Structure 1
Amino acid sequence: MAPSIRPKYSRVPKEKFASYFAPLSSQPYIEPVPRNGLGPHHSPRSIAWNPLGSLVATGSDKTLRVWNPEKNNVRFSTELKGHSAPVEKVAFNPVKDAELCSVSSDGVAKLWDVRTKACVNEIKGLGSAHTLAWAPDGSSLLVGNRNGELFQISPTRSAIVSTHPQPVETNQMAFCWSGEKVFLPTGDGKIRILSYPELEPVLHVNHTVKPGESTEFMLKGHTAPCLTAELSPTGKYLATGGADSIIALFDTKDWICQRTITRLVGPVNSISFTFDGSYVVGGCAEGMGSQPLFFLSQVRNDADAPIGSRLEVTHTETGEHVHTFKIKGPCEAVAWAPTRYCLAYSDDGSLRIVGVDADRK
């Protein structure tokens, strides 16, 4: 059973952030080992909190697992099976605490009721699906595949609602909080701003272009494919991560890049803000050599050498480094809880969470 719901925490000022986390240790959430010692290792590719922050889901291989963050023993978790290929992305319905969606490279999106462990709906024919985003009102979803196709689907319909081929490869998208726009990272390093559900360009340049060229206005912040986008809870910043190891923070009023994060190593595959938008994180699935490394990096314009296997937390408004979490090794996903300063991340093949109350095991 999920823990009792607690009110949203108040903000922790940057001067006290380090002392807030100093006495807390991260808790491991370890998958059971098969009796014969064989079988796939469940290394989380994706992590998602439910809207109340009372459950956290992980997905990889062919299995999903939903954890009670207050109890890290696997017997308090829920296993969900049904995909025939690795689970690429998981996300809870933003307005329903127990409805979870997963997409897999098997071309299927599955909707789950985590209370009953039942798959309540599935949509097939999505190709090699690898991205997923819920509309803020929970009425529909966007799924993207590696061929650049976008699919609008409904949690209550088993057929695809609409298909939208894109002119360039697309990656992990993000909605604005009204649900009227979607931010779409592309393989050419740009970020498109499209209307929803029409998926048409919202903004256009106000200068003359060459005949045959598009007048669509796009954000430009990367010299390599843009892999992910995340809107801050306050709506003030859009963060984008690229294969160029950079995170860009765009002001959503004037669409100017205000800051860049340049101390990461490897493609930036995940980004997360704290519930109050005060702190930002970014995750890299690959690092120096062949081993993935993961960093939460300073929001500032510099070209310092990479900082190594640590999680660096940064204040978004000032660019000040506020705290360091040590990690063991490979990490592919990270997510701040939606209601408190509680960080879930994959580390060395397992889920770990820091910020859970010390007296809650």
Structure 2
Amino acid sequence: MAPIVRPRQSLSKEKFSAYFGGLKSTTYHDPGSARGGGGTHNLRSIAWNPLGTLVATGAADRTLRVWNPEKPNARFSTDLKGHTAPIEKVAFNPVKDAELCSVSSDGTVKFWDVRTKNCFNEVRGLGEAFTLAWAPGGDTLIVGNKADTVFVLSPTQNTPISSHQQPRQTNQIAFCWSGSRVFMTTGEGETRILSYPDFEPVLFHDYGGQARTEFKLHGHTSSCLTAELQPTGRYLATGGSDSVIALWDTTDWICQRTITAMVGPVRSMSFTFDGSFIVGGSDEGAGLEICHTETGELVHSFKTASSCPVVSWAPTRYCLAYAELGVLRIIGVDSDRK
């Protein structure tokens, strides 16, 4: 039976808290995780498929699992076996609902058909790989390692298309929606705007005949850890180890506002499907602080028992997946059954 895709409905910031505050959090217990906490199972990555009908999780104990969000019992999930080291990142192909990519710190990237549990392609020898970003068209993707080398891969080739050594610490990469540019966060608190697939600077400071210098987004007082483009493309969000989320206008590249509601380094960020709200994840503090993108106002605080380093909104509705105590939890999966 084909999955049911419900219409998207947006809420104003005035109505959001009343709606979201009435939703419950569902826990997805992986049978391999330790009792009473995550243990070595700690989730490193969460990813929704394009329709929002599946959620993939990658963990430090090499567990790669695909969940049906409507059925939290592990017997309804799919366990994908094959990695021999911690899984650092997982992401579905943005145009193929059942094609999943996983990146392990042993330098192996695997491509899966989650319907058959088949690993249909594998790329090895990429060093301590930890980042992953699909191009919007789904035909290529970028993987980066801790030696600051980024690789362009194809899901149909077992060797990289190209590799590009970066001149400074590179933390995470996000694409623009046309696929022609990437946003690369650095250990110097900056975000670089580079062309794709050749990774050349696209914006410069022009000093009237003097040597041009690369234009970068200077938004953080310490390392810039993550970047996320708003679904509407109006804002680019960057998160840093200074606990700040900066929102940049993508026309003039001016920082329009900063969000300082979080405690600890911003390890992940996610926009709602309509771009109206943003949440950040950190490995310090407790609770999820959801803010209104257009004003920066805190609109809802969701209390949790511990820190939540990984967060991911569903692509079709106000449904939030996050990692807490090493396991997957999702707020709002029961909302359509009320």
TM-score by length of structure 2 reads 0.94
Following TM superposition, by how much is the alpha carbon of 1:23 offset from its aligned partner in structure 2, in angstroms? 2.4
Query: Which residue pairs with 1:12 in the alignment?
Result: 11
Amino acid at match of 2:318: Y
In 2, Cα distance between equivalents of 1:227 and 1:33: 29
Query: Which residue pairs with 1:64 in the alignment?
Result: 64
Q: Quick check: 126-135 or 20-29, which moved more?
A: 20-29
Contact 1:245 1:266 (8 Å CA) reproduced: yes
TM-score by length of structure 1 reads 0.89
1:4 and 1:185, CA in 2 relative to 1: closer, same or farther beyond 3 A? same
Query: Which residue pairs with 2:277 in the alignment?
Result: 279
Residue by residue, what CA displacement relative to the aligned partner does 1:252-284 show, whole Å, maximum 9, x if unpaired? Answer: 010001111223222211010000000011111
Contact 2:280 2:288 (8 Å CA) reproduced: no
Q: Does 2:312 align with 1:354?
A: no
Query: Which residue pairs with 1:320 in the alignment?
Result: 297
Q: Quick check: 313-322 or 77-86, which moved more?
A: 313-322
Query: Which residue pairs with 2:162 in the alignment?
Result: 162
Following TM superposition, by how much is the alpha carbon of 1:340 offset from its aligned partner in structure 2, in angstroms? 0.4
Query: Which residue pairs with 1:222 in the alignment?
Result: 220
Provide the aligned C-alpha RMSD in A. 2.1
In 1, Cα distance between equivalents of 2:39 and 2:18: 39
Contact 2:130 2:146 (8 Å CA) reproduced: yes
Amino acid at match of 2:13: K
Amino acid at match of 2:279: V
Q: Quick check: 102-111 or 256-265, which moved more?
A: 256-265
Contact 2:319 2:330 (8 Å CA) reproduced: yes
In 2, Cα distance between equivalents of 1:188 and 1:268: 15
In 2, Cα distance between equivalents of 1:360 and 1:7: 12
In 1, Cα distance between equivalents of 2:320 and 2:227: 19
Contact 2:133 2:174 (8 Å CA) reproduced: yes
Unpaired segments of 5 or more residues in structure 1? 288-292, 294-308
Amino acid at match of 1:185: T
Following TM superposition, by how much is the alpha carbon of 1:110 offset from its aligned partner in structure 2, in angstroms? 0.6
Aligned residues: 336
Q: Secondary structure at the match of 1:268?
A: coil
Q: Quick check: 91-100 or 263-272, which moved more?
A: 263-272
In 2, Cα distance between equivalents of 1:107 and 1:34: 24
1:25 and 1:111, CA in 2 relative to 1: closer, same or farther beyond 3 A? same
Query: Which residue pairs with 2:319 in the alignment?
Result: 342
Unpaired segments of 5 or more residues in structure 2? none
Following TM superposition, by how much is the alpha carbon of 1:164 offset from its aligned partner in structure 2, in angstroms? 0.1
In 2, Cα distance between equivalents of 1:354 and 1:267: 23
In 1, Cα distance between equivalents of 2:76 and 2:110: 22
Following TM superposition, by how much is the alpha carbon of 1:360 offset from its aligned partner in structure 2, in angstroms? 5.5
